[in-house]
Every structure is written in C-alpha cells, then in structure tokens.
Amino acid sequence: MEYNDQVKNRVKRIEGQLRGILRMMEEGKDCKDVITQLSAARSAIDRSVGLVVSSNLVECVRKADGQGDHQTNELIKEAVNLLVKSR
C-alpha cells in the first residue's frame, strides 16, 4: 500500500507531539498537562489509524472489483478487523 503525504504528515506531527511530551516529562511539568498531551497524541494516532484503514478499504474494494462479491466481502472484513484490532 502506498501512503500519501497527508498520512505521513500526520505521523510526523504525532512524532513532534511525543517529543514535546518527553520534554515536558524531563522538565518535570505538571502531570495533568502531560496527561492532556498524551491523550491528544493518542487521539491523533487513532485518527491516523482510521485514515489508513479507510484508505486500505477503498484500495481493497478497487482491487476486488470484478472478482466477485465473496472476495470483496472478505477484503472489507479484513480492513474492518484491522480497525477493530487497533482499538
């Protein structure tokens, strides 16, 4: 699967968030602030997972086009399972 620039940029932002959180910890910042930032990073990761899975779903359906309903259904189930597993 190819990952577009939008997905890559999301992950780069998350990487920056995580570095910022680590810096906050090293500086001894208040735990409420650290938890708030960790929650924001987790939400960003969850949204990224949803984007990757939805892109994968579209790709799978396109790939299965013309291969019959059973194959398409299996590929859709696989993509949905990826999303559920990520939670």
Distance CA 7, CA 49 (A): 9
Distance CA 57, CA 82 (A): 10
For 17-63, what is each residue's pLDDT tens digit? 999 999 999 999 999 999 999 999 999 998 898 888 777 777 766 76
Q: Confidence class of residue 67 from pLDDT cuts 50, 70 and 90?
A: low
| CATH code of the domain containing 15 | 1.20.58.1000
Distance CA 72, CA 65 (A): 7
The parent domain of residue 53 ranges over 5-85
Which pTM value belongs to this model? 0.71
Residue 81 structure tokens: 């399972």
For 14, the enclosing helix (H) or strand (E) is helix 5-26
Q: How many domains does the chain have?
A: 1
Which pLDDT does position 40 carry in this prediction?
A: 96
Q: Are 37 and 24 in contact (CB under 8 A)?
A: yes
